[in-house]
């Protein structure tokens, strides 16, 4: 079964945004730190989505 790449990407982003929102409700957020981590997170998520989109060549 092939994983749904779009659902993985959107689900990951939703979890990250939810975690940031929860963090904002219960404590102070260092927005400078979030500003540095956001691009890195998006790049890593993009790489994972590209890896998941590769077709596996299997011989049967």
Domain count for the chain: 1
The distance of Cα 51 from the centroid of its chain, to the nearest Å, equals 13
Instruction: Tell me the two tokens of residue 45.
Output: 């998520």
Specify the pLDDT at position 15. 92
In a domain, 23, yes or no: yes
- Is this prediction's pTM over 0.85? no
| Res. 4: pLDDT tops 70 | yes
Which domain covers residue 39, as residue numbers?
A: 7-51
In a domain, 11, yes or no: yes
Specify the pLDDT at position 14. 92
In a domain, 16, yes or no: yes
């Amino acid at each position: 079964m092939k994983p749904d790449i779009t659902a993985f990407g959107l689900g990951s982003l939703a979890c990250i945004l939810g975690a940031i929102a929860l963090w904002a409700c219960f404590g102070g957020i260092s927005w400078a730190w979030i500003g540095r981590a956001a691009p890195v997170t998006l790049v890593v998520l993009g790489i994972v989505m590209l890896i998941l989109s590769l077709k596996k060549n299997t011989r049967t």
